């Protein structure tokens, strides 16, 4: 709700003598407009620091003035004189720009740099709490051009000390509670305190601003733990003018239902800790990042449909405490086989999931029908489901997963209990975090950062609008306090929730320097190594280092931070993430028929495509390491960094721990759905399961971190949905009874898929493409064998690039290779944790058996890996693979991955 007050009152409120924020204001609307801005201006000028501003694209003639108004009353219309300003400062052109400012704002177009007079510099902190408009004027004072200014450069310079403030937020203690809010552009601020999440405010406390940091604070002489609060902040908003915002705390550690109020809590308080929490430790299964085998899981997906979980706990944190449920039995079996980590899709406070009375549609329809998606779409914004890439409060657990979202303590305790239950199942816990954008910005009711410091926290374009290349409102972690918020948030999760690793969404939009500071901070706060991995994609307004050195694939080498590799992923699956139409079928991959088993739409493909794909698979198996030398299909041996991948080096990592290998995650079609489109239609269901296992084997055998999407081991289908982020429970189901993979449960939602419905309909209607229980069981068991093989030896988890270069050797390479077989041997002599003198793996993607020979392995005493020969081995076909020691020849059954070892 928004309320507007008369201009006269607004002027009084904005004066130095205005009244304190009243208790009644705490119970008022979310926004009160104290004075509306007369007209909107773009923000084309940019503060470079406290003294300098640049106006890209502006002529340099005329007189430049900085006008200010505490009531946002400025009218600066071209051809007229400025009206409504309380005063103005003159600026002069200069060529003197510091190296720091020049580098930070290197992306700005040419334009005059303007300097404030030295005598006026002391006025700037106060003026930043007002409306500021920069004009270029004619000699008679008429406006030639006018613009607002992007303020981050000035605020970062003026309030650099704020970066060192350790206790932003609410900090309750014995007989006192402190509140600190960074709001350097606020004219005044107060904290409103509530006894509950729904009661009226019981008290209001005025905050005082520290001139050095821009932090507003108060000390209340009482321990307010368990109560709720909001801030009342008077700020000039570029959209609305002078407003009073009632807003939650950006540093909230918990919230009331639907995030309406922040919760006051000391995360070290005994009442918020499950029994044994202080002594709780993660399983000691990861000594090096490359030891990680990660299962990416959504909290609601995990238990929502599990009938062995009590109904009240389904889809909740508490479901992980049901140790005998089908889902927990599945996770424990994975851990016993060698899975080390669960990575939870976002579990911070999510803006797009109602925490009470969310809709639960119950679709029905034909395998290729559109009624299911039609029902889902009707409630897409009010149902209980979303992946969660819609951040609202970064530091608070999501309330829809708690048993009682109205109780700010429950989500804290239950989250910690979930971590403990996963630890006791043998699994470490990682979080998917999304610091690259917020759900909304500006004066929207679900905006927090922009309603506290308007225009600061987001990355702005040349007109002052928010960049949205990440889908939503991009944050600017290159700005001091947004970078601090990201780092402080990660420290909170690692320290107070014992999180072992983080997966950063669109990490390439963050500066490498910020990520390295974050790494140091979380490691120092926890006294252990917290692994960082993320999406290092290079795109948008930051692409190719336009604004800073990015935390992207090609820019992170040597940092120890892992990025997802698309090199082998695309070669294995076929095509690319952006494919649509017939390309989804025709662009086959190495495991699903490229050249050797073409589908009806593939057409004639040159043999070099298969050869190139096989080499790209080898590149992934070698950890995508820059320095690794590969004998290519073209007959030359080249370092991976010298092999082309779409205009980029195929090898980009300096060490194995900087590579995350995967063939499926939450994005795009699942591997099963991808193969349903690309494998020839006559491929039987048992063979479809085998092809799935081949993809998982490539990840298991690759040097680096292994990453798997939950359900990939049980042939998970999303009925061909390419983007199930908001597709409801229906298209995101998991079946821990292993009876169905949910293929053919309706056309996927129209928003992202309708253009491909004509292609999808016959595929979904084809009953022969549905996985049978026997197929699911095979994939499940064969995958666990792959985990066990990987866990059995460090040869599939080598620590350094030098180790990989010295010990990993591919054979069956070059121009005369059999391109459907990838084979390698790894020397284990003297290598810590190897357990074997050597290990040799072979992956045959073809639908027929093949024989390959390696002269270097003649006369060796190789045997099948013990996992293959065990009575309960998941893939009986692997045990039929043969090795002829005299000739160094291997016979590999069709669509089989097999490992040989020697003592």
- Which positions are annotated as active-site residues? 505, 535
3-state secondary structure 79-103: CCECECCCEEEEEEECCCCCHHHHH
3-state secondary structure 339-396: CCEEEECCCEEECCCCCCCCECCCCCCCCCCCHHHHHHHHCCCCECCCCCCCEEEEEE
The DSSP letter of residue 72 is S
Per the document, the length of the chain is: 903
Rounded Cα distance, 574 and 607, in Å:
15
Of 797, 777, 728, 787, residue with least CA distance to 876: 777
Rounded Cα distance, 151 and 706, in Å:
43
The DSSP letter of residue 541 is G
The CA–CA distances, whole Å, from 491 to 36, 501, 767 equal 40, 11, 49
**Helical (H) or strand (E) element with 772:** none
Rounded Cα distance, 580 and 263, in Å:
46
Strand 63-69 vs strand 131-137: parallel, antiparallel, or unpaired? antiparallel
The CA–CA distances, whole Å, from 855 to 472, 842, 852, 888 equal 56, 15, 10, 6
Q: Which residue has the tokens 């044994």?
A: 276
Task: Name 349's bridge partners.
Answer: 393
Strand 659-661 vs strand 562-564: parallel, antiparallel, or unpaired? parallel
Of 480, 467, 470, residue with least CA distance to 505: 470
The CA–CA distances, whole Å, from 81 to 116, 136, 138, 145 equal 21, 11, 10, 11
Backbone angles phi, psi at 105, to 5 degrees: -110, 35
The DSSP letter of residue 18 is P
Degrees, nearest 5: CA angle 730-376-296: 40
C-beta neighbour count of 634 within 10 angstroms = 14
Rounded Cα distance, 9 and 12, in Å:
5
**Helical (H) or strand (E) element with 783:** helix 773-791
Q: Using CA atoms in the order 435, 438, 439, 443, what is the torsion angle rounded to 10 degrees?
A: 160
Cβ atoms of 868 and 837 closer than 8 Å: no
Rounded Cα distance, 91 and 55, in Å:
12
Degrees, nearest 5: CA angle 558-560-561: 115
Rounded Cα distance, 172 and 176, in Å:
6
Cβ atoms of 714 and 738 closer than 8 Å: yes
CB proximity list for 8: less than 8 A, separation 6 or greater: none
The DSSP letter of residue 727 is S
Task: Name 611's bridge partners.
Answer: none
Strand 293-297 vs strand 31-36: parallel, antiparallel, or unpaired? unpaired
Of 707, 448, 556, 680, residue with least CA distance to 548: 556
> How many Cα atoms sit within 13 Å of 648 on the Cβ side?
17
Strand 705-709 vs strand 808-811: parallel, antiparallel, or unpaired? unpaired
Cβ atoms of 196 and 141 closer than 8 Å: no
Rounded Cα distance, 45 and 709, in Å:
45
Cβ atoms of 430 and 501 closer than 8 Å: yes
């Amino acid at each position: 709700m928004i309320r507007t007050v008369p201009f006269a009152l607004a002027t009084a409120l904005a004066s130095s003598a205005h009244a304190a924020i009243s208790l009644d204001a705490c119970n008022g609307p979310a926004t009160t407009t104290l004075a509306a801005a007369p007209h909107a201006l773009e923000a084309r000028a940019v503060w470079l620091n406290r003294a300098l501003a640049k106006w890209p694209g502006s002529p340099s003639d005329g007189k430049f003035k900085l006008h200010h108004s505490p009531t946002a009353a400025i009218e600066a219309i071209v051809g007229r004189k400025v009206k409504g300003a309380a005063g103005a400062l003159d600026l002069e052109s200069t060529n003197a720009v510091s190296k720091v400012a020049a580098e930070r704002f290197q992306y700005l177009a040419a334009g005059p740099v303007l300097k404030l007079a030295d005598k006026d510099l002391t006025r700037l902190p106060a003026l930043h709490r007002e409306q500021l408009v920069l004009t270029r004027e004619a000699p008679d004072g008429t406006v030639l051009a006018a613009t607002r200014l992007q303020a981050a450069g000035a605020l970062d310079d003026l309030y650099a000390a704020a970066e060192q403030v350790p206790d932003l937020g609410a900090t309750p203690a014995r007989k006192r509670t402190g509140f600190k809010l960074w709001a350097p552009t606020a004219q005044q601020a107060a904290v409103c305190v509530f006894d509950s999440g729904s009661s009226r405010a019981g008290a209001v406390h005025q905050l005082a601003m520290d001139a050095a940091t821009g932090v507003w604070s108060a000390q209340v002489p009482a321990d307010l733990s368990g109560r709720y609060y909001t801030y009342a902040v008077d700020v000039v908003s570029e959209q609305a003018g002078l407003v009073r915002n009632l807003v939650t705390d950006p540093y909230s550690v918990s919230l009331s239902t639907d995030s309406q109020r922040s919760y006051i809590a000391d995360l070290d308080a005994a009442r918020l800790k499950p029994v044994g929490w202080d002594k709780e430790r993660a399983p000691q299964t990861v000594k090096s990042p490359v030891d990680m085998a990660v299962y990416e899981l959504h909290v609601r997906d995990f238990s929502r449909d599990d009938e062995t979980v009590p109904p009240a706990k389904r889809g909740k944190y508490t479901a992980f405490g049901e140790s005998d449920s089908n889902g927990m039995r599945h996770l424990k079996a994975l851990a016993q086989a060698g899975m080390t980590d669960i990575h939870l899709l976002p579990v911070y406070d999510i803006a797009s999931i109602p925490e009470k009375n969310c809709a639960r549609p119950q679709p029905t329809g034909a395998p290729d029908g559109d009624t299911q998606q039609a029902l889902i779409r009707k409630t897409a914004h009010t149902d209980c489901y979303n992946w969660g890439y819609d951040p609202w409060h970064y530091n608070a657990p999501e309330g829809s997963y708690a048993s009682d979202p109205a109780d700010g303590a429950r989500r804290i305790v239950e989250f910690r209990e979930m971590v403990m239950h996963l630890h006791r199942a043998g699994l470490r816990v990682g979080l998917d975090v999304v610091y690259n954008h917020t759900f909304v910005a500006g004066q929207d009711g679900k905006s927090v950062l922009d309603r506290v410091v308007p225009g600061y926290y987001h990355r702005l374009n040349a007109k002052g609008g928010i960049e949205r290349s990440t889908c939503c409102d991009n944050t600017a972690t290159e700005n001091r306090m947004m970078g601090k918020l990201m780092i402080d948030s990660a420290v909170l999760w690692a320290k107070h929730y014992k999180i072992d690793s983080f997966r950063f969404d669109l990490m390439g939009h963050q500066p490498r320097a910020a990520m390295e500071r974050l790494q140091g901070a979380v490691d120092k706060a926890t006294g252990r190594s917290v692994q960082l991995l993320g999406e290092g994609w290079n795109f948008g307004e930051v692409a190719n280092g336009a604004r800073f050195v990015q935390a992207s694939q090609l820019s992170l080498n040597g940092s120890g931070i892992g990025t997802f590799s698309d090199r082998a992923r695309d070669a294995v699956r076929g095509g690319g993430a952006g494919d649509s139409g017939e390309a989804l079928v025709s662009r086959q991959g190495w495991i699903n028929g490229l050249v050797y088993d073409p589908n009806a739409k593939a057409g004639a493909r040159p043999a070099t495509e298969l050869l190139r794909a096989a080499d790209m698979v080898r590149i992934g198996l070698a950890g995508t390491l820059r320095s690794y030398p590969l004998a290519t299909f073209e007959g030359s041996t080249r370092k991976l960094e010298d092999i082309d991948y779409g205009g980029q080096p195929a090898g980009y990592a300096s060490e194995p721990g900087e590579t995350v290998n995967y063939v499926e995650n939450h994005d795009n079609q699942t591997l099963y759905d991808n193969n349903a489109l690309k494998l020839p239609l006559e491929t039987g269901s048992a063979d479809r399961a085998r092809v799935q296992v081949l993809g998982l084997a490539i990840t298991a055998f690759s040097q680096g971190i292994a990453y798997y999407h939950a359900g990939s081991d049980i042939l998970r289908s999303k009925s061909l949905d390419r983007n199930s982020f908001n597709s409801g429970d229906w298209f995101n189901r998991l079946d821990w009874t292993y009876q169905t993979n949910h293929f053919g449960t309706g056309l996927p939602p129209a928003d992202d898929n309708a253009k491909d419905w004509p292609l999808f309909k016959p595929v979904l209607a084809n009953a022969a493409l549905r996985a049978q229980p026997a197929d699911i069981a095979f994939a499940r068991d064969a995958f666990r064998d792959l985990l066990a093989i990987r866990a059995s030896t460090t040869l599939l988890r080598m620590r350094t690039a030098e180790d990989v270069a010295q010990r990993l050797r591919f054979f069956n390479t070059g121009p005369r290779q059999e391109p459907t077989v990838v084979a390698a041997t790894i020397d284990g002599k003297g290598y810590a944790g190897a357990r074997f003198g050597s290990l040799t793996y072979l992956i045959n993607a073809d639908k027929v058996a093949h024989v390959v020979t390696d002269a270097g392995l003649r006369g060796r005493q190789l045997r099948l890996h013990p996992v293959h020969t065990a009575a309960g081995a998941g893939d009986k076909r692997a045990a039929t693979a043969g090795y002829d020691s005299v000739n160094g020849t291997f016979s590999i059954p069709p669509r089989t991955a097999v490992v040989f070892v020697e003592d």
